[in-house]
Chain A
Amino acid sequence: MAKRILGSMFLVLALILAVSCGKDAKKAIDAAQTAVDDAKSAGADQYAPDEYKSAEDYLTKAREQYDQRDYKPSKASALAAKDQADLAKKRAEDRKAEEEKGGIGAAEQKPGQPTEAYNVSSLSEQQLAIEDQAKAALTDAHFGFDSSELSEENKQVLVDNSKWLEQHPEVKLTIEGHCDERGSTEYNLALGERRAKAVRDYLVSLGIDHARLNILSFGESMPLDPGHTEDAWAKNRRVHFAISK
């Protein structure tokens, strides 16, 4: 009896988690769609066709993932789509202005602009650079202060990541362990290592080949957010996935 209650509680919890993740992904997709529409009205499909196509590809992918209930990767793809769309819009506007001025540099980069900040390939989803696919599909895991314990949310993220890894058996990953700035440099190296190991071991338990997964700790030395707030610290206590070359 108790087991059944516990079981149903888990079900409810899982449902709540799934719904809330789904909501996030839906929001991100809607935002991406708006950005793509904006880009199109700015003439991005003509003036920045590569960037625009890339945005569309990411958006299509995000919808497919959403339909398959892969909410986390879907959200990541949607965010990538929005970034690409924003970039496409900006470049299209710049180039249009340039053209109106009679300049010939429509397709050139302005000096000082970041070059190739995002993927601008116009290839189909299957042909997108594997790094970008991995970036969109593999979500970071997050941790509590001085903890390497995997939360239920982390485990869900890792299940999603493992699905992508199963679909891409040729990919080898470096699992990077990171910490927030608090505490000693040395102790945080050990803590980052432990976080990376916890993630690796969980992926192995999900059937991913140990040999595909390297671990590397950066401790507190490579923060994602350089701020000194609780928010920044929470972002920095993470395990990140990078393609091994």
Chain B
Amino acid sequence: MKKISIAVFLLALAGVSLAQETAGEEFIVISKAPKKSRIAIPSFRVEFQSEQGFGLGEELSGLLGRDLTRSGFFELIPRPSYMKPAPAQGEDEDWQAWSLLNTQAVARGELVELGPDQYQLTLKLFDAATQKMAVGKSYKGSRASLRRMVHRFADETIDWLTGKRAGFESRLAFVSNKSGRKEIYVSDSDGFNPVQVSNTRKLNLSPAWLSGNSLYAIGYDRVNPDLYLLDIFTKAKKLVSSQPGLNISPAVGPAGKKLAAALESPGENLDLYIMNPDGSRPLRVTSHPAADLEPTWSPDGHYLAFVSDRSGTPQIYMIDLYQGAESAGNKPVRLTTRGSYNTSPAWSPDGRYLAYARRAGNQFDLYLIDFQGADKRTEIQLTSTPYNEEDPAFSADGRMLVYSSNKNGNYDIFEISIFSKEPVQITDWPSDETQPSWSPSLYEKGG
């Protein structure tokens, strides 16, 4: 009896914390790791003609648990501890049973086979604080679209909890030398369903998403490293920049309206340029005899952060685009002051963080610069391992970074929540997978 009352008390507390996080309209950046809500996800109910139904239901409920855990906002309560996993038909959740496990939310799913390759997936999230359904969605589609439905529901759930969608319903692009040469691959955001999208048998590097369907990349198709725009479905390729020398570092500006890249200026010196999305009208931004490359846009288009070795070693700088090109009156500001090798800057979509890779000793680790105010910047070390973490890129919601690491000897793709700092491995191929980046969210309102 006493036990139960304690449990009820905990439940009340838990309810308060959940409710608080949902309160605001705007997402407030949580600098500390968010408190994780405990969620239970019992096996989905399946209504199937064929035998594969149960396996499919298990795959999808497992995926929902994985997404919500990856978000850093949920902690999955292991199934064997569930006391009453399935309520009888027409009966409500047994909240008293759930409260014993300090459950703050329960997600349920139902998968129905409507016809040949036609499915309906209904997903519901119940909030223990109110004992009511908080999110409920029903999706219809083919077998191939089922995982995407789960990703969308996970994004909806994070939206309900925090006021901002997560980025699970997106694609991942990366470079792999699986075929013996570096080619571009595209998969779901979690590495599932990979497809090779370039096949030139020459080098293909540095994918940068323009939309959910197209990306820029470096290709050696015509011997020289040139920039191309690649449609991931039709595989159609358009030459975007083919100046003599290097055409590298594609970086897509706000709303995809501008492209920044590193090209060779007369005198064979690598500088930053900004051009139209088709590569026309390149305008020179930096002018320094050292190499300037790897630009990344602030989300408002006000600044470009980039790498330059103008000090003798690669360091990260920032230039104010509202002041025009580099000049005596508009000198780039150096952002990194420690370490002799800082590269691969990536600006978060909310503008607050700049992720980059720093070499210390023989290892690379990931760092964040936190732009706390006009003149206040602090540094956060995200990883600290005896192997390399490199190539960071943010998720559409800015809460996660995807990166490459040689933790297993070869390079694989990993992700990490910038709040919980817990790494999760995404790809596990024997070859080297590098330069990952997530596309913008594939979700369109009203669509």
Contacts and interface: CB of A to CB of B under 8 A. Distances in A.
A and B: interacting chains: yes
B205 A221 contact: yes
B440 interface: no
A219 B291 CA distance: 14
Interface string A217-242: 11101100000100000000000000
Interface string B119-146: 0000000000000000000000000000
B224 A186 contact: no
Contacts of B313: 146
A221 B248 contact: no
Contacts of A197: 268
Given A146-B313, A217-B225, A221-B205, A186 B294 contact: yes
Q: State which size class the interface on B falls in.
A: 35 or more
A190 interface: yes
A216 interface: yes
A187 B314 contact: yes
Contacts of A146: 313-314, 341
Contact of A194 (B218, B291, B343, B409): B291
Nearest to B435: A185
Interface of B: 175, 182, 203, 205-206, 218, 223-225, 245-246, 248-249, 262, 268, 270, 291, 293-294, 307, 309, 313-314, 341, 343-344, 357, 359, 362, 364, 388, 390-391, 406, 409, 434-435
A-B interface, 10 closest residue pairs, ranked by CB to CB distance from nearest = A184-B343, A190-B291, A184-B344, A186-B294, A187-B343, A221-B203, A186-B249, A189-B248, A221-B182, A190-B270
A216 to B, nearest CB: 7
Contacts of B409: 228
A187 B293 contact: yes
Contacts of B246: 189-190, 193, 217
Majority secondary structure of chain B interface residues (helix, strand, loop or mixed): strand
Interface in A161-199: 182-187, 189-190, 193-194, 197
A164 to B, nearest CB: 23
Contacts of B390: 184
29 contacts: A146-B341, A182-B359, A182-B362, A182-B364, A183-B364, A184-B307, A184-B343, A184-B390, A184-B391, A185-B434, A185-B435, A186-B249, A186-B294, A187-B293, A187-B307, A187-B343, A189-B205, A189-B293, A190-B246, A190-B248, A190-B262, A193-B270, A194-B291, A197-B268, A216-B223, A216-B225, A219-B205, A221-B205, A228-B409
A100 B388 CA distance: 56
A186 B182 contact: no
A187 B224 CA distance: 17
A183 B359 contact: yes
Interface residues of A, number: 20
Contacts of B388: 182
A116 to B, nearest CB: 20
Contact of A185 (B205, B245, B406): B205
A216 B249 CA distance: 16
B323 to A, nearest CB: 25
B359 A186 contact: no
A228 to B, nearest CB: 8
B203 A218 contact: yes
A187 B249 CA distance: 9
Contacts of B223: 216
Nearest to A245: B223
Chain B CB count within 10 A is highest, among A186, A216, A222, for: A186
B245 A193 contact: yes
A96 B63 CA distance: 62
Nearest to B391: A184
B58 to A, nearest CB: 39
Nearest to B432: A181
Contacts of A193: 245-246, 270
A221 B175 CA distance: 11
Given A216-B225, A219-B205, 10 more contacts: A185-B206, A186-B293, A186-B343, A187-B293, A187-B294, A187-B343, A190-B246, A190-B270, A193-B246, A194-B291
Contacts of B343: 183-184, 186-187
B310 to A, nearest CB: 12
B233 to A, nearest CB: 25
Contacts of B406: 228
A242 to B, nearest CB: 11
A182 B434 CA distance: 12
Nearest to A219: B205
B294 A184 contact: yes
A186 B342 CA distance: 12
A184 B435 CA distance: 9
B245 to A, nearest CB: 7
A128 to B, nearest CB: 26
Contacts of B294: 184, 186-187
A159 B294 CA distance: 35
Interface string A199-222: 000000000000000011111011
A183 B409 CA distance: 16
A51 B344 CA distance: 49
